[in-house]
Structure 1
């Protein structure tokens, strides 16, 4: 990022309007830099050093935004869609103007942890097929999930298209009871992100997922206080852990 940039560009980036709207604000005397009214919307400013106020509100510059979303069911993991509501539609203008995008995707009927950012480098590192970022899901599965399934997942299973999955860790929380119609409750950690992978892995062992929620990605854990549809910015510690996650490259 350059040390200085145009005032109108900076204010547009921080959500104060379009460049034409900002030009009008400047003309009206609503913009101050270091305590002085400015009349030139093209003024070069340093967002790290200059104090920029718009109608009494300080403009805080961020190059990137990192949001943890508890994705609800019924919305799609996309920036736009002609039929369905997207995860971007859940954001306030304060964050939407950064043009964030989902890092990876969750199925429309899957809920849970989804990272939204405009940091392409971080997104690439988390999604690169050469790196194995663990993702843990909570699921409810029809029937009795048992140790035989855990051994199968640990060895890798063949999906319906012939793809052999990497070893995955299955933790059985509550065994199901088919006679009583009670599903098994499990946690599954996978190292890939194939299309419908968790559902297809259980399909491969003759079982059906009826509820699915992602609870972690790398070192990032879903905030239990976020209700479906709610989001918040990552803390500095969470972001640092995500950036420094010890991901293993394929040998």
Structure 2
């Protein structure tokens, strides 16, 4: 037997592979033919008016036998099937200039009902509305409403939860207010002898005097710092954020650097950590530490309470006089690279972190 060369083996393998491929093609043709027969039977069953088209490959497989119908029958909605939907779409493509009648679809909603629903969704409590206007925080706005300084559409309102919408005319202390669209966030390194308020009848220096060149928007402080307390202070016209950062349930962390008139004794140190009973309840400290091991008058305090003058009152309870109190951190914000009496705008990342802060941050 003659031994086959490599080329002959290669040719023989090619022929064998071609035979196998041809068998596969025949099987596919047979399968396609069976599928087309099943489609014909199914379309005939669904619509007896369909007839096979005896034309070339480029034409569609099925056509409709058109019959004359009365006007009432033509306007009657047809059942939406794959076949008549394909026919309607092709007809609209050929007759694009002619108006197409919709034979199916939901009815248009009543515009009056939709408008009423939108008005209800746009409504908000009056104190929240005032906070969005940049007048003050939501908590302070509630006090303003209760004091009888707010009118809605000419009517005096004393209930902070009264619902208002954007179409209502709201007047606060004789001035019409509007919701603020341009939100501003300013971090101030507050110095001493400035009070944390938007207006002072005694004409004392306020924190707004330090940022009067920063923005034309009306901003207000988030929380309060004593006149003799310095450090981080946030000012904004974002009422929602101000509400979050001042509400006790969110437990916003604050860190203070305290300078006492005398060294803090160890027994007082331990008692402060256990909790100090003051006139308005127990005051708890999260962290207490000596800032300098050699100087026991320098104390670091971390807490989440927002009660008025809480740090000073704790040390005064044990007979200490607080010579200097500086807030070095508030809600994760620090005064790094901001000199005393200077300010800066918050970055987008800082604003995002404040708005989506975790509890106790």
Q: Provide the residue aligned with 2:138 in structure 1.
A: none
TM-score with structure 1 length normalisation? 0.67
Partner residue of 1:87 out of 204, 207, 229: 207
Is the contact between residue 168 and residue 191 of structure 1 (CA under 8 Å) also seen in structure 2? yes
Q: Is the alpha carbon distance of 1:226 and 1:69 closer, same or farther for their aligned partners in structure 2, counting shifts above 3 Å?
A: same
Structure with greater contact order relative to length (CA < 8 Å, sep ≥ 6): 1
Contact 2:232 2:335 in 1 (8 A): yes
Is 1:169 paired with 2:287? yes
> Which of the pair is proportionally richer in strand?
1
Which SS does the other structure have where 2:290 is aligned?
Answer: strand
Structure with a larger share of its residues in helix? 2
Distance 1:80 1:87 in 2: 10
Whether 1:99 aligns to 2:218 is yes
1:144 partner SS? coil
Q: In structure 2, list runs of 5 or more residues that go unmatched.
A: 1-179
Spell out the pairing of 1:221-240 with structure 2 (5 A cutoff). 221-223=334-336, 225-240=337-352
Question: Looking at CA atoms only, which structure, 1 or 2, has the larger radius of gyration?
Answer: 2
In structure 1, the gaps of 5 or more residues are: 1-60, 178-182
The alignment partner of 1:206 has SS state of coil
Partner of 1:10: none
Count of equivalent residues: 181
CA RMSD of aligned residues (A): 2.2
Structure 2 match to 1:116: 235
8 Å contact kept, 1:122–1:243: yes
TM-score, normalised via structure 2 length: 0.47
Cα distance in 2, alignment partners of residues 187 and 72 from structure 1: 19
Q: Distance in 1 between matches of 2:333 and 2:345?
A: 12
Q: Distance in 2 between matches of 1:80 and 1:176?
A: 43
Query: Any idea what the Cα deviations from partners look like across 1:5-36, whole Å, max 9, x if unmatched?
Result: xxxxxxxxxxxxxxxxxxxxxxxxxxxxxxxx
